[in-house]
Structure 1
Amino acid sequence: MLKTGLLFLLLHCHIVGLNAQQPAVSNGELRRFPDFPSSFVGARNIDVWLPSGYSSKKKYAVLYMHDGQMLFDSTVTWNKQEWGVDEAMTKLLNEKKIKDCIVVGVWNTGTMRHADYFPQKPFLSLTPEQQDSIYKATRGNGYTLFASAVQSDAYLKFLVSELKPFIDKTFSVKTDRANTFIAGSSMGGLISMYAICEYPNVFGGAACLSTHWPGIFATENNPIPATFIRYLKNNLPNPSSHKIYFDYGTAGLDSLYKPFQLQADEVMKAKGYTSINWLSKEFTGEDHSENAWRKRLNLPLIFLLKK
């Protein structure tokens, strides 16, 4: 267990409700849809970023991003860090390196984050004893990871059958798979991987940064990474119509990820993925933080959204 990563995820799981102030963006426009309702999961804020010059006369691709409260404004985040999404998108748009695109920041709901983001079908493939052990896992100081049973299938239903139709109706966007993408980090990386596998007709690309393959905080006698790898073998979408980006650092919590990412990479190769539709990158010295993800965000954005 790594204390730095442990502290990060502990705090990362409790940020909803601490500061619901609308982020300020330095580029483009942000529109807040507070407490967006769902019949599948808890209500949450949705922040939609529109590039400068957004016009209903044009059609835009859509990038859905998890942990939406961490994307735009470090002055309102728990750790005073951010992804810098508006800056990165604006720079790449101005350089004409990516297609016109809006970003939908989907907030997590604090204590339900692990239950929302933990891939459900791999979890259910474990034995009842293994599932029970995972539910008892803690993130330190006696805090359990799961506030409820895993419900990522319900979370994805919310994204696909409730949020996406709203975005498609409200904004001038392209609604097809080739222009619909999903991205996140850590547990958000896992759920992005799961989303493109579960809904290959909806999402044409996924970016999975610092993917939290262990699922919990221990790696010894942990069956979770192996079941994720088996799931990938059986459920990866067609490489001819999908793009997937993976990465990891080597410091802090990210130092756990390399062996599991290398296993995932072998699966990707075996399933016919090449450099055309798949990237897997290591960032030496980078840790598990928004500052780290911000520094390399341009890479997955260009990979998914290049013209």
Structure 2
Amino acid sequence: MILKNFYLLLPFLSSILSVMSQTPAPHVSSGKIVRIENFSSKFISSRNIDIWLPEGYSSQKKYAVLYMHDGQMLFDSTTTWNKQDWQADEVATKLMNAHKTKDFIIVGIWNGGATRHPDYFPQKPYESLNPNQKVFVTNELKKIGRTEENFQPVSDNYLRFLVKELKPYIDQHYSVKKDRANTFIAGSSMGGLISMYAICEYPEIFGGAACLSTHWIGIFSDTNNPIPEAFLKYMDSHLPQPQTHKIYFDFGTATLDAFYPKHQAKVDELTRKKGFTSNNWETLQFEGEDHSEKAWAKRLHLPFEFLLKK
């Protein structure tokens, strides 16, 4: 029943998220937000970018950069559709004050509302599906209002936007370290998928990825679903080198996260086979935790510290 109710909300969320472009910049407990309204792109639809700068940010020093998806959900629960947020500013501030991480800024990239699913769905694994499998995916997404026509991911263009447009802007306008060892990407659910895809497609750009409650099923049913296997095959040939990259995965066991344990186990087996160890890879299970910003906020310190520890 909980999962059914969760699905019923999904068609509703895109319309809410598209309206959120009218919201004011989030209030943060420390540091400050610099908003870029409707950052334009030749690759994807324009969208807001919320850049969080820590307390005492100074051009006299250099900062690591963490790019995070679903930027409208990161900082201020009073502006989000479900009155929850990741508390990313509070978590980052505590870790930096305790000297557990490098100093870093957070670049919150708003999702595109109705374009979120095609923006975040890894494109090359989808394109490896046969025609019947693609029809299956389209039909499943039509059931819950995620698409009205044939589904087609555009995540390759979304990543081009990140790498060719947004990162150069951040590198030019902020006092940041530009190298791979100080450039990270993170997200949850579909944002977890696109974070995995980003570090695989652009291993020269991103040195680490945090994938929380990664939506391995891609759609909202696990019956006769070809997507998880397509993701595994893609990762088998595209995972970056463990010597130079870090990957963090986690998942809960309630609501939508209940689908993930068996798929994460296969991902873990593959990741281990590729040579990742506890030095550069972590997968954590959170019993009873659901698929929500509240749940991710409670454990956000773990991926932050894992990727950005001094």
TM-score after normalising by structure 1: 0.97
**Residue range with higher mean Cα deviation, 274-283 or 128-137:** 128-137
Give the match's secondary structure for 1:16: helix
Structure 1 residues 11, 135: CA separation in 2 closer, same or farther (over 3 Å shift)?
Answer: same
Answer whether contact 1:61 1:100 (CA < 8 A) is retained.
yes
Deviation of residue 3 (structure 1)? Answer: 1.8
Give the match's secondary structure for 1:17: helix
Deviation of residue 12 (structure 1)? Answer: 4.1
Structure 1 residues 163, 290: CA separation in 2 closer, same or farther (over 3 Å shift)?
Answer: same
Give the match's secondary structure for 1:46: strand
User: Which residue identity is paired with 1:191?
Assistant: I
Cα distance in 2 between the residues matched to 1:220 and 1:187: 19
- Give yes or no for the alignment of 1:193 onto 2:196: yes
User: Which residue identity is paired with 1:204?
Assistant: G
Match of 2:254 among 251, 256, 259: 251
Answer whether contact 2:47 2:109 (CA < 8 A) is retained.
yes
User: Which residue identity is paired with 1:41?
Assistant: I
Instruction: Provide the aligned length of Structure 1 versus Structure 2.
Output: 306
Cα distance in 2 between the residues matched to 1:150 and 1:250: 27
Cα distance in 1 between the residues matched to 2:168 and 2:69: 17
Match of 1:291 among 286, 289, 294: 294
Deviations 1:194-243 (A, max 9, x none): 00000000000000000000000010100000000111111000000000
Deviation of residue 10 (structure 1)? Answer: 3.7
Answer whether contact 1:37 1:44 (CA < 8 A) is retained.
yes
Residue in 2 aligned with 1:17? 19
Give the match's secondary structure for 1:78: coil
**Equivalent residues in 2 for 1:213-228 (5 A)?**
213-228=216-231
User: Which residue identity is paired with 1:102?
Assistant: I
Cα distance in 2 between the residues matched to 1:153 and 1:28: 33
Deviation of residue 139 (structure 1)? Answer: 6.5
Residue in 1 aligned with 2:239? 236
Residue in 2 aligned with 1:179? 182
Gaps of 5+ in 1: none
User: Which residue identity is paired with 1:138?
Assistant: L
Deviation of residue 133 (structure 1)? Answer: 2.0
CA RMSD between the two structures: 1.4
Match of 2:169 among 163, 166, 169: 166
Residue in 1 aligned with 2:212? 209
Match of 1:53 among 34, 56, 62: 56
Structure 1 residues 210, 12: CA separation in 2 closer, same or farther (over 3 Å shift)?
Answer: farther
Give the match's secondary structure for 1:104: strand
- Give yes or no for the alignment of 1:63 onto 2:63: no
- Give yes or no for the alignment of 1:89 onto 2:74: no
Deviations 1:60-118 (A, max 9, x none): 00000000000000000000000000000000010000001000000001000000000
Residue in 1 aligned with 2:122? 119
Cα distance in 2 between the residues matched to 1:282 and 1:246: 9
Match of 2:145 among 143, 146, 162: 143
- Give yes or no for the alignment of 1:133 onto 2:133: no
- Give yes or no for the alignment of 1:30 onto 2:33: yes
Deviation of residue 8 (structure 1)? Answer: 5.2
Give the match's secondary structure for 2:129: coil
Deviation of residue 300 (structure 1)? Answer: 0.1
Gaps of 5+ in 2: none
Cα distance in 2 between the residues matched to 1:63 and 1:153: 20
Cα distance in 1 between the residues matched to 2:164 and 2:9: 31
User: Which residue identity is paired with 1:20?
Assistant: T
Deviation of residue 146 (structure 1)? Answer: 6.7
Q: Which has the higher helix share?
A: 2
Give the match's secondary structure for 2:283: strand
**Residue range with higher mean Cα deviation, 113-122 or 145-154:** 145-154
Residue in 2 aligned with 1:6? 7
Cα distance in 2 between the residues matched to 1:9 and 1:247: 22
Answer whether contact 1:114 1:146 (CA < 8 A) is retained.
no
Answer whether contact 1:97 1:302 (CA < 8 A) is retained.
yes
